[in-house]
């Protein structure tokens, strides 16, 4: 597998919308994803294996704050470094745009994601009660802080 990360384009939206349906009980629609292409605060990236979308990540950067909206990887690409590459790109983008931190929500039952985020230096900063549906579950708020020079804290 030869993985390339690129900013999302209209040509990727069908695959990303399909991925949303596979991964999430409340998926983003094609139209919602398309609207983010013209949102100046949105930074969405796809991981491509050739011309095939392996996964994607979406983040929003407002002032010095960065929030991950979604990260998803097609089942056949899981445990092959795709999510690691996407989180790495999100952290780099946050630093590049001057964010003080990057934050995301994750199900406490998602041990693979928790392990990945912890490896990148994210720590638990809060809880959103009953955040997820189908099944109902709380969300852990995990955040990675950057220092004043916008270097990643280790």
3-state secondary structure of 7: strand
Report the catalytic residues. 105, 117
CATH 3.40.630.30 given to domain 3-145: yes
Q: Per-residue confidence at 151, pLDDT binned at 50, 70, 90?
A: low
- For the four alpha carbons of 113, 132, 7 and 143, in that order, the dihedral sign comes to negative
In this structure, the strands spanning 137-145 and 101-106 are: antiparallel
- pLDDT tens profile 46-83: 999 999 999 999 999 999 999 999 999 999 999 999 99
Order of strands across the sheet with 65-73? 3-7, 42-49, 52-62, 65-73, 101-106, 137-145, 123-132
- pLDDT tens profile 84-105: 999 999 999 999 999 999 999 9
């Amino acid at each position: 597998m030869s993985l390339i990360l690129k900013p999302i384009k209209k040509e990727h939206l069908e695959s990303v919308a399909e991925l949303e349906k596979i991964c999430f009980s409340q998926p983003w629609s094609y139209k919602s994803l398309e609207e983010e292409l013209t949102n100046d605060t949105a930074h969405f990236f796809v991981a491509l294996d050739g011309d095939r979308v392996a996964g994607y990540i979406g983040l929003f950067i407002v002032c010095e704050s960065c929030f991950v909206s979604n990260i998803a990887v097609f089942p056949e690409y899981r445990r092959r470094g795709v999510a690691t590459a996407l989180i790495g790109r999100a952290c780099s983008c946050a630093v590049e745009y001057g964010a003080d931190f990057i934050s995301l929500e994750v199900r406490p039952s998602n041990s693979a994601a928790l392990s990945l985020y912890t490896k990148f230096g994210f720590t638990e900063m809060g809880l959103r009660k009953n955040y997820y549906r189908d099944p109902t579950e709380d969300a852990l708020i995990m955040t990675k802080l950057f220092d004043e020079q916008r270097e990643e804290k280790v």
